[in-house]
Structure 1
Amino acid sequence: MLDGSKAGTHVEIKKSTIGEGSKVPHLSYIGDTTMGSGVNVGAGSITCNYDGVHKHKTVIGKDAFIGSDTMMVAPAQIGDGALVAAGSVITEPVPADALGLGRARQVNIEGWAADYRRRLHEDNEA
């Protein structure tokens, strides 16, 4: 870890370089990663660096912002100044100054929960 960088509570950093002024505040795993200066990693973010056989590297460019609860599937590349949206699973390179967004679209099914509870209640009476 370089000058001014920060690792908060419940953070594991393994075989990684954390750039000057970069922050990994809490609840994160950063493994086999090279991180530039001025990076902010949101809570609950991890680098998925192991495929079951080999470890792979993640590179995060300077001044990148990684939103909370992000999984960066190595070999991952996040460009300088890029922003990764919270809750994303990043499997493709994110170019410099781009927004990386990798999450499924939310679907709401009206009445589903009430119907589910009704079925559970019916099953309990049987």
Structure 2
Amino acid sequence: MSLPAGAVTVPLPGGARAVLAEEVPVALVFDGVTQAVMMASPVDLEDFLLGFALTEGMIADRAELLRHEVVRQPQGIELRGWLAAPAGQRFAARRRAMAGPVGCGLCGLDSLAAVLRPLPRAPRGGGAK
């Protein structure tokens, strides 16, 4: 069996093996402004950017996404898209922070730098009282 790039197999009890897909933080950036940071498999990223823009109503047609760029960084991947003037104006007028109620904890972050922020240390002695 061939695996996609970045996928790994891990052993399971009983000798079985499972395939795990690679996921990395991906920032979706439109006209220089980060709209969302999500965990995603780093494949078909151009389709991911286009699909996100269409389903979020940022563009009505693929022609409104003028160009795109995939920028790999140490913290993750930036998907940068540039919108045609009418779509770009709509985006600027309705920009919002996206917050997810559950999941990986990245929704709502506004940059890849925020993904690897220092975490607070747990107090000595364990759990909550």
TM tier, shorter chain?
A: under 0.3
More strand by share: 1
Q: Flag the structure with more relative contact order, 1 or 2, with Cα contacts below 8 A and sequence separation at least 6.
A: 2
More helix by share: 2
